Chain A
Amino acid sequence: MKSVTNLRAGRLRRNAPPLVPLILVTIALGGVAMRPSLSMEAARSMRAAAQDRAARAAGERDRCAAFTAQNGAERLAAATARIRELLPWGTTALELHSGVRLAAERCGFRLDTVSVDGPIDAGLARLDDLVVRRSVDVRGSGPLPALPALVSLVRSLGYPTAVIEFTVTRASSGPHPFQFQIVLGVFAAAELPPAPPLTVPTGSEGEFQ
């Protein structure tokens, strides 16, 4: 059993009046002192982020300077233009017909028929323009080794050409021993078709779910 006394009861209550304002003022002073420190972390983060962005921006400047020093812009534009020039623009059926006939004559072929189809989408990537292909059906006779020359000559006239199919049949001896039929695909650039207008479903036909 311990002793029981009230001699020290209420000690905290008696000491509280002077302590409470002291503690409150101390807390307030601490708050005032700590206030800038509370923003310090955010400020450090912002500076670190700014340093990163500045380093990246300096890198961009260096890359740009190196590119400019090598006349990169001009060379890039020239290369792009040359690549684009590989595809003729707006080839007509008459031009193709004339070109193929001219090439066949120079290769020693005797032409029977030349027919040129209308342009169709070649299914290649659409950039600023569209790649179309015309099928040119050439029939005639002549020496077999001259057949590749015919294709090369058509290409040399500025028409990107692919051999889609061909048939060669020995007919007789003489200057035109082979009958041939060759279908050429001639590529050209064309304008992009206009984009279809956007249609907004109305009424009961198309309600958004």
Chain B
Amino acid sequence: MTDSRPRSPLSRLAVLAVSHHGVEWYERDPNGTVRYGSHVPPGTRPPDIVAAAVEARRAAGGGRRRCVLALDHTLSRHRLIGLPPVAKKELPRIFERKARQLLELAEGPVYYSALPMGEEEGERGREKQWRWLLTALDAESIRDLCLRLRGHGFHVHRVVSRSLAALAHAQAEAGVGDEPLIVVTVDHGIATVSLAAGDELVYRDRIEGDILTEPALATSVVQLVRTCAAYWRKHHRGQQVRRVLVLGMPVAQGRLLSHAIAPIIEGGTVDVLPREGDDEKAGRFAFLEATSGTGRLCPELAFPLPSRRFLTAVLGLAFLVASGILAWTVHGNATAELRDLQLDTASLNTTIAALAPFAVENRRIEDGVAGLNAYLGRAAAVGSHGVDLEGLLDTILAAFAGRAELTEIAVGPAADGGHEIGLRGEADPDPARVLCDLEEIRRSLESDPGIARVDLRLPARLPDAAGGRAEPFVFEIQARVEVPQ
């Protein structure tokens, strides 16, 4: 069978539609060839369903390709519920309890997914409520099912509630945006009527029974559509719903139903998917293909499965082997480098030990030089003691020569540790000459760098010249021996 309709990227995924009543495999090749197979499971346990899935895929001639696991209303249950405003952290506990109620499970784990659907005005004094689309799964059975499917080569890429997925697909097909849309989906043994507006599911109800084999049920469906339209008018000031879409019925029956619905939405449009096709399965194929649809109203129900032990073990072992080889290489290189460093250090230490006597010898030499310097310093200190007698006498005799007669020299230690010089002399009593001579003596003494603070002491009066011969002029000089710095 060939179908040339445009396809979404996700329609490359095959569809594995699962219910307790039948398992179907549907896939469409890029060239439009449809492969379809179905099988009724012998029981309701996961092994029975998986066996039926294998048979269905074999009947379809399908291969090992990724697929959407589309669950029916018995395996994934959903409901619109209203909750008063509660703390965010309380929501998981509430949803778990609600999901358990929805699944009618007394115990055991449950999966749930709750999508907020906006606020609902409270009626007659009741407080506002938040509306949630709650989808619930029996965690143990769905987990068992998925693990078994994986074991049989089914690569489950997505898990969806097929009625919600079909609703999302219908919204996308209708292209109504935020406008209200009534969607009638026909699945095996159930017809669902949904009223959606944008991202919000406003109303949803279903009719048990196969509308394809029991045409009388169509009346109930039409009534539900009428109820939806009336609900919208009531809550939106008389605004009409102008689009209805029927999905999952053979073309001819779908058109008949659309004719029955058309009067309800005056001036509106009723679309039927598929729009054309003579095959009696065309409606079913359209529904199955719609289950791969995505949208906000279609919660993704896939959950992480435990990794495959063998694969994990192989990957872990490979990782460990690679890590071990890397660690061994790094360890070997580092060890070799460390050993080289230690050998270098040991060799250097041997060299240092061999050279150690030179350092000892040098310390001994330095001690010898220091001792020599100490003896030199002490000898210099001995030589600097006392006064330079010869130099001092030369200076004094030179200063007095031709100017005065030296009568006494006294050099001795001073109280402050230096040496004092005391000189006494006799000069010509001629006043004009004596002052000149004494000044010359003083200058001559001061010109010697070894003599300082020359102090000339003259008598209070000049000697008398009694008897025709003048007495000599006696004077004294005090000075300091300057110690050279």
Interface of A with B (CB < 8 Å)? Answer: 1-8, 11, 14-15, 18, 22, 25-26, 29-30, 32-37, 39-40, 43-44, 46-47, 50-51, 53-54, 57-58, 60-61, 63-64, 67, 72-73, 76-77, 79-80, 83-84, 86-87, 122, 124-125, 127, 131, 133, 144-145, 147-148, 151-152, 160, 162-170, 182, 185, 187
A143 to chain B, nearest CB (A): 11
Q: Which residues of A contact B328 (CB under 8 A)?
A: 33
A36–B89 Cα gap in the complex (Å)? 51
Q: Chain B residues near A5: list those with CB within 8 A.
A: 111-114, 299
B352 contacts chain A at the CB level, 8 A cutoff? yes
Please, which residue of chain B has its CB at the minimum distance from the CB of A26?
A: B323
Given A5-B112, A5-B114, A148-B393, are A166 and B348 also a contact pair (CB < 8 Å)?
Answer: no
In the complex with contacts A3-B114, A18-B312, A11-B397 CB distance below 8 A: no
- Check if A7 sits within 8 Å of B302, measured CB to CB: yes
Who on chain A is nearest to B330 by CB?
A33
A contact residues around B368 at 8 Å (CB): 73, 76-77, 80
CB distance from A142 to the nearest CB of B (A): 13
Q: Which 6 A-B pairs have the closest CB atoms?
A: A162-B386, A57-B355, A148-B390, A162-B385, A165-B412, A36-B334
Report if B389 contacts A (CB, 8 A). yes
Task: Considering the complex, give the chain A residue whose CB is closest to the CB of B365.
Answer: A67
Binding site for A on B (CB under 8 A): 91-92, 95-96, 111-116, 130, 299-304, 306-307, 312, 316, 319-320, 323-324, 326-328, 330-331, 334-335, 337-338, 341-342, 344-345, 348-349, 351-352, 355-356, 358-359, 361-362, 365, 368-369, 371-372, 374-379, 381-383, 385-390, 393, 397, 405-413, 419
Residues of A within 8 A of B377 (CB): 125
- A4-B114, A83-B375, A122-B382 in contact; A44/B341 too (CB < 8 A)? yes
Complex Cα–Cα for A152 and B335 (A): 80
**Judging by beta carbons under 8 Å apart, are A11 and B304 in contact?**
yes
Of B112, B338, B387, the residue contacting A43 (CB under 8 A) is B338
In the assembly, what is the distance between CA of A5 and CA of B365, in Å? 90
Task: State the Cβ distance, B88 to closest chain A Cβ, in Å.
Answer: 8
The docked-state distance in angstroms from the alpha carbon of A141 to that of B113 is 137
| Chain A: minimal CB distance from B473 (Å) | 16
Most buried by B among A7, A148, A152: A7
- Report whether B389 and A163 are in contact in the complex, using a CB–CB cutoff of 8 Å: yes
Known pairs A11-B304, A26-B323, A169-B407; A60 contacts B331 (CB<8 A): no
Q: Once the chains bind, are A33 and B112 in contact (CB under 8 Å)?
A: no
B307 A54 Cβ-Cβ under 8 A = no
Which residue from B299, B345, B389 sits with its C-beta under 8 Å from A147? B389
Of A7, A32, A40, A131, which contacts B341 at CB under 8 A? A40
Interchain CA distance A26-B307 in the complex, whole Å = 20
Contact check, B413 vs A79: say whether CB atoms are below 8 A apart.
no
Verify A37–B393 contact, CB threshold 8 A. Answer: no
A87 touches B382 (CB 8 A): yes
